[in-house]
Amino acid sequence: MARILFEPIGEEIDCAEDETILDASFRQGYSLVHGCRAGQCSACKCYLLEGEVSLKTYSTFALSESESEQGYTLLCRAMPDDDDITVELLHFDPDNYKAEHEIQDGRAVVESVRDLTHDISEVVLRVLEPAGFAFAPGHFVDLHVPGSDERRSFSMANLPGDGRLELIVKRYPGGRISGLLDGGALAAGDELGFTGPYGTFRLRENDRPMLMIAGGSGMAPQLALLRQIADEGIERPVRFFYGARTRDDLFLLDELAALSVRISDLRFVPVLSEEEWDGEQGFVHDAVARYLDGGELGEDVEAYLCGPPPMVEAATEMLVDGRGIDAAQVHFDKFTTSVAVGDQEATT
């Protein structure tokens, strides 16, 4: 059993030789910054100060060869080779690195499935066990792929408390979960196993204006935060920019309009990249930059980004490098694509 020391927070955990450092941290009640947990998004990138690790398969998009040679590693892929390892966390929340809810295995039954667009579906699950399964707005769960040991991650769009998990799933041909939706192989009444909750994406308690940016199924955790803001009567300016290709790729517009009534200063701004219309056009991060140029929201904002890694990376660069916004005020959930043989799936 290896000893893992996390700096600069000064916390230690034990890690078995057959588990990743990130999985070991989950097991011992920590929720360090992470994303896909498959070595594709770079959210858990850190620096190895002491000791050696072996890395499970990962994408060079998340960790380049030069970064690996310099001592950087990925918590979700790193398995200990030495008894004593010291890791410098590059991204962490000093006040919220302990897990709020215990990660548990559970069972759920599909309550409903409906198409939201030509390639995005809503899947609502009713939790059978454990009783009282709890999560926070912004969290996600792993769904167990039927008949295999594989899992796929999906964020909840609903608030906790009613025993349901409302998921927004982007469908891919051959996807291990999403592919079941196209052929009707996953339908109301079917049971699924799940594990969770996971995630560090959550609403920060301060008075800064909120800047939300999303694309694709990244709508889910943003919708959860908006519902939380509405339910708790939080009064902060909120600007939600959503990137899509065409008008046919927009969804839940009635829900967002209803939230705009309940939230005192919410504005939803769809941005289309492949269709001309009277609204915002181009890449969503460019539309946000144009909006910030107007000065209405100011520069001291709290930013929440959810969607494909290129979108998140571009928006982060625009905000931090281009606008000088403190990186600690930029929170993200990267929705990567899991790829196996003949398999592609959007995962948080």
Q: How many domains, in total, are found in the chain?
A: 3
Give domain status of residue 24, yes or no.
Answer: yes
**Quick check: is 205 in a domain?**
no
Q: Are residues 320 and 224 in the same domain?
A: yes
Residue 96 in domain: no
- Residue finishing a domain among 89, 119, 147: 89
User: Does the residue 340 lie in any domain?
Assistant: no
Question: Torsion angle of alpha carbons 175, 125, 98, 209, nearest 10°?
Answer: 90
DSSP secondary structure string for all residues of 292-310: HHTTSS-S--EEEEEE-HH
pLDDT tens, 210-251? 999 999 999 999 999 999 999 999 999 999 999 999 999 999
Q: Is the pLDDT of residue 344 over 50?
A: no
If asked whether residues 70 and 143 sit together in one domain, one would say no
Contact call for residues 97 and 11 (beta carbons, < 8 A): yes
Instruction: Tell whether 300 and 249 lie within a shared domain.
Output: yes
Q: What are phi and psi of 226, to 5 degrees?
A: -65, -40
Query: For 283-324, what is each residue's pLDDT tens digit?
Result: 999 999 999 999 999 889 999 999 998 999 999 999 999 999
Burial class (CB in 10 A: 0-12, 13-18, 19+), 10: exposed
Task: Return the bridge partners of 268, or none.
Answer: 240
Residues 159 and 236 in one domain: no
Same domain? 111 vs 61: no
For 31, the domain range is 2-89
Closest CA relative to residue 199, chosen from 75, 30, 72:
30
| The domain boundary residue, chosen from 28, 56, 89 | 89
Mean of the pLDDT values across residues 271-293? 97
Q: Are residues 215 and 330 in the same domain?
A: yes
Q: What angle do CA 331, 41, 329 make, to 5 degrees?
A: 15
